[in-house]
């Protein structure tokens, strides 16, 4: 028997860790705690190899006395002593965390020791603990009866336990408790209260019997016997619990509570731990440091102070801590060389960083709020705002709130969004839509601007100012809170919850990125950005340039949209050129600021891609604004009927595959010429100021090399001259008297035909950028905005394994691989990247690295996620 009993105390523990496998989960924790040389409660473990056979063990008292004697010397109490009795608890420690066994405390309370115990804690508490002891023993007997299928006996014991519990809750006076004790004596073994060791032996043998017949126990449950200490055992006593640091902010400061002269602090928020006596607080701080360094994470520790002496009860990991707290903890450990760089970088799943990058809900503030659960997470985070059902009404509300100094937090709520709605998404806190999904326009733009996006298919619109989700009505102007976690079910709360705002610097995110980038070598992460603010933030987040600057987004700003509409309405080239001069000034300012923000790093500018009809007036309010603009612009005059006719003429049945991208440049070359002039006027201006620039000109929607050759180098045919963009740059340079800047022409590979013809296209392209959203749509024939309506059926029958607009389809991957291989055969120095939200998904990044790409480009708030995924891939490959 002795070889199966294992004592532990401060710095006294079983050295052979193989033996720990017989100690159960809690037994292992106790041994690990003991090894840290901390003031833990001593105790001993009866290992799993014998716990189911104790009822046949002779002379158990002799063994118990030997090990309890060791506990007595540490605690200064004696088991069975009449004056100051030591009490013990028995903890059943299985290897299965799901197994639930009774809580067994206060063994050693006998007719002889109860009075002595009561002198310290009072009779009310003392007799209450006697009842708790009885209850624990009866719960073991109840379990035995259930396992042996003695139904009547089990029901009788269950009734006894329920009545005992009611008596414990209803009464709080010693007389009542003592009366219950006397009443329940007849249900206990005759000598249960006669002797402390007899009592302990009785309960250990009952537990052993229970384990022997329990099918869930495969002889893997150990028993832990430990002294009890009490936070109400004299004046200088307390109980409490603390975390080794703040679990939300990660600040290295104890967070917790304690209760003075109270048995325990469970279900109590007591006083702040910092208010406990200074010597005790200092000891707890030292404990926190040792525990955190050992387990390499934030831990929760329960403790008791008994007569001025600190005892640690247990410690455990935390599920409720924030990612920010984890990041700051591990950065601290890394700085002190307790963990390696690899351990720090591989400690997180890349998607976990979403929590640091976006606000999170303070759960306490939502307890009494009405809620609507469900939907698809388009862009994670939390957002509060008044809902508006159109871009126009939201922008009007925003202006009004600004003028009046009122709350400007607004949420755009629409069936779906389009290019003209970008300006509303930009000023909103979030988007609530009913169509699409993760890859819908609203979701993609929201991620780009760091906003929250939620798609709920149950959202139905009732007129212009009402909507409904299920039975819940939403009216324009209602205040709601969107909670869109990256993991878990999204929720709409009706009303205002409290938010915890992110701070990249204070959160430790920027320091973490600095460490991550040490494992990001040849393969880089760029950003999709068309605003200087986004470019600056992305650079802070570690982006190595801009992989996609969508120039069409620049024209949707309120002061520009009508100028662009005027250009579209022009009847001839001369009229268009006049309007394009106005637009060029705006574009030049944009590019100047973006180049400056990304000084020296590559900036890939995609020339106009969107179909022209997207820019035209779509409602009466937009029509009126455009007509009013025309009256004051000094340009051509048009009636409403003429504008509508022009809009109808430009409408397309399938605009995604219609007159857009490079096809507009073939028909109206002056548009791309204007953009090219604006780009290089900005570039040469910065160079004259001593700044470095690295422009990359992307021509979208190329089908074949003839298109690209025409647009870059121009052509003369049958008396017509098409001026190539290379010539435009030369003319700008000559006009400004500037020295040549190193720049590149390239294209976006977003059509299967372009991927297959990559070898020819690479003759004229110095870089490829794979636009995987459109490449996915054109390869597998699915609309990213419409497929979610029927995708559940496809998932149900395993027709598609997942969302192809999130995880790259195998055939899309094949086309990328073909294009890379054929393109590099033609041009060995070809630069290759992937732009779009596919580029922030770790599994896609692994493919891109394997396929020979040089970078991925994603939205601003996805840059840290992509960087971490790249670093983890490099570590994994190095290990392999």
Alpha helix positions (H), 405-554? 422-427, 441-448, 509-516, 532-540
CA angle 748, 750, 755 (to 5 degrees): 90
Classify strands 381-388 and 479-484 as parallel, antiparallel or unpaired.
Answer: antiparallel
Q: How many CB atoms lie within 10 A of CB 505?
A: 9
- CA 453 to chain centroid, in Å, comes to 14
CB 157 within 8 A of CB 142: yes
Bridge partners of 716, per DSSP, are 721
Numbered residues of the known binding site for substrate? 550, 606, 750, 771-774
Phi, psi of 129 (to 5 degrees): -70, -30
Q: Name the token pair of 634.
A: 């000094």
**Of 354, 287, 274, whose CA–CA distance to 322 is shortest?**
354
Cα-to-chain-centroid distance, residue 629: 45
441 is catalytic: yes
Q: Which secondary-structure segment (H or E) carries 46?
A: strand 43-46
Per the CB < 8 A criterion, the answer to whether 823 and 770 are in contact is no
Which residue stretches of 90-122 are H helix? Answer: 114-121
**Sequence-distant contacts of 142-145: CB under 8 A, at least 24 apart:** 143/101, 143/102, 143/210, 143/214, 144/206, 144/209, 144/210, 144/213
Which residue is catalytic, options 549, 662, 835, 858? 835
Of 780, 827, 820, give the one whose Cα is nearest residue 439.
780
Tell me the DSSP string of 220-269.
Answer: --EEEEEE---TTSSTT-EEEEEESS-TTT--SS-EEEEEET-S--TT--
Bind-site residues for Mg(2+) = 750, 774
835 in active site: yes
Cα–Cα distance, 456 to 418 (Å, whole number)? 17
Q: Which of 6, 128, 358, 441 is catalytic?
A: 441
- Return the closest-CA partner of residue 705 out of 762, 772, 752: 762
List, as residue ranges, the binding site: 550, 606, 750, 771-774
User: Any idea which residues carry the catalytic annotation?
Assistant: 441, 835
């Amino acid at each position: 028997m002795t070889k199966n009993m294992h004592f532990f105390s401060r710095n006294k523990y079983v050295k052979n860790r193989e033996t720990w496998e017989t100690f159960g989960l809690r037994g292992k924790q106790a041994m690990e705690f003991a090894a840290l040389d901390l003031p833990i409660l001593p105790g001993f473990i009866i290992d799993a190899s014998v716990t189911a056979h104790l009822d046949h063990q002779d002379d158990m008292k002799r063994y118990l006395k030997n090990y309890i004697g060791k506990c007595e010397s540490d605690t200064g109490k004696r088991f069975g002593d009449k004056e100051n009795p030591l009490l013990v608890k028995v903890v059943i420690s299985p290897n299965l965390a799901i197994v639930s066994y009774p809580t067994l405390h206060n063994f050693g309370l006998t007719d002889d020791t109860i009075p002595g115990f009561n002198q310290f804690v009072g009779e009310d508490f003392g007799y209450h603990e006697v009842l708790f002891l009885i209850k624990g023993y009866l719960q073991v007997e109840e379990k035995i009866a259930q396992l042996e299928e003695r139904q009547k006996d089990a029901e009788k014991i269950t009734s006894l336990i329920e009545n005992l519990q009611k008596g414990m809750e209803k009464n709080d006076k010693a007389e009542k408790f003592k009366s219950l004790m006397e009443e329940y004596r007849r249900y206990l073994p005759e000598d249960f209260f006669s002797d402390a060791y007899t009592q302990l032996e009785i309960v250990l043998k009952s537990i052993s019997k229970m384990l022997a017949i329990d099918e869930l126990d495969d002889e893997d449950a150990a028993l832990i016997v430990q002294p009890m200490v009490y936070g109400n055992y004299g004046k200088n006593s307390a109980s409490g619990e603390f975390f080794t640091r703040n679990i939300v902010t990660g600040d290295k400061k104890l967070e917790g509570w304690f209760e003075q002269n109270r048995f325990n602090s469970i279900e109590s928020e007591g006083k702040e731990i910092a208010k406990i006596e200074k010597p005790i607080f200092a000891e707890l701080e030292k404990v926190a440091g040792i525990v955190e360094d050992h387990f390499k994470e934030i831990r929760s520790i329960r403790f008791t102070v008994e007569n001025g002496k600190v005892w640690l009860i247990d410690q455990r990991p935390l599920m409720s801590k924030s990612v920010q707290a984890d990041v700051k903890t591990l950065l601290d450990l890394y700085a002190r060389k307790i963990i390696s760089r690899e351990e720090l970088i591989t400690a997180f799943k890349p998607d976990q960083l979403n929590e640091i990058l976006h606000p999170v809900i303070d759960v306490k503030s939502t307890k009494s709020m009405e809620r609507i659960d469900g939907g698809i997470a388009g862009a994670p985070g939390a957002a509060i705002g008044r809902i508006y059902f159109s871009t126009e009404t939201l922008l009007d509300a925003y202006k009004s709130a600004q003028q009046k100094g009122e709350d400007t937090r607004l949420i755009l709520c629409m069936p779906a969004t389009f290019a003209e709605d970008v300006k509303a998404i930009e000023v909103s806190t979030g988007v609530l839509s009913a169509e699409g999904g993760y890859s819908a326009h609203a979701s993609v733009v929201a991620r780009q601007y760091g906003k929250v996006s939620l798609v709920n298919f149950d959202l139905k619109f009732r007129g212009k100012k009402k909507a409904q989700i299920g039975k819940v009505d939403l009216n324009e102007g209602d205040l709601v809170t969107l909670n869109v976690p990256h993991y878990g079910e999204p929720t709409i709360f009706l009303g205002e919850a409290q938010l915890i705002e992110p701070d990249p610097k204070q959160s430790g995110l920027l320091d973490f990125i600095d460490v991550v980038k040490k494992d990001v070598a040849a393969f880089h992460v760029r950003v999709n950005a068309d605003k200087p603010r986004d470019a600056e933030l992305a650079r802070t987040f570690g982006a190595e340039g801009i992989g996609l600057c969508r120039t069409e987004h620049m024209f949707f700003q309120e002061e520009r949209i009508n100028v662009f509409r005027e250009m579209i309405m022009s009847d001839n080239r001369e009229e268009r050129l006049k309007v394009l001069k106005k637009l060029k000034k705006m574009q030049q300012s944009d590019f100047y600021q973006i180049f400056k923000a990304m000084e020296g790093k590559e900036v890939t500018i995609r020339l106009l891609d969107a179909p022209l009809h997207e820019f035209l007036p779509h409602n009466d309010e937009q029509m009126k604004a455009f007509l009013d603009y025309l009256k004051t612009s000094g340009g051509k005059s048009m009636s409403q009927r003429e504008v509508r006719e022009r809009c109808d003429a430009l409408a397309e049945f399938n605009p995604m595959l219609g007159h857009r991208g490079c096809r507009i440049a073939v028909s109206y070359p002056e548009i791309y010429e204007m953009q090219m002039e604006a780009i290089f006027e900005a570039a040469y201006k910065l160079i004259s100021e001593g700044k470095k620039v690295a422009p990359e000109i992307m021509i979208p929607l190329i089908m074949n090399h003839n298109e690209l050759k025409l647009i870059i180098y121009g052509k003369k045919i049958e008396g017509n001259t098409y001026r190539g963009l290379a010539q435009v740059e030369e003319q700008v340079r000559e006009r400004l008297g500037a020295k040549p800047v190193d720049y590149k022409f390239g294209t976006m590979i977003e059509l299967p035909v372009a991927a297959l013809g990559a070898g020819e296209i690479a003759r004229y392209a110095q870089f490829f950028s794979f636009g995987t959203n459109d490449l996915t749509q054109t390869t597998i024939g699915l609309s990213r905005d419409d497929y979610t309506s029927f995708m559940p059926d496809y998932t149900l029958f395993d027709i598609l394994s997942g969302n192809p607009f999130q995880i790259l389809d195998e055939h899309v991957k094949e086309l990328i691989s073909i294009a890379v291989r054929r393109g590099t055969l033609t041009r060995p120095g070809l630069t290759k990247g992937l732009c779009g939200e596919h580029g922030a998904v770790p599994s896609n990044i692994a493919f891109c690295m394997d396929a020979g790409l040089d970078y991925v480009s994603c939205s601003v708030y996805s840059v840290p996620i992509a960087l971490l995924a790249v670093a983890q891939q490099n570590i994994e490959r190095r290990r392999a």
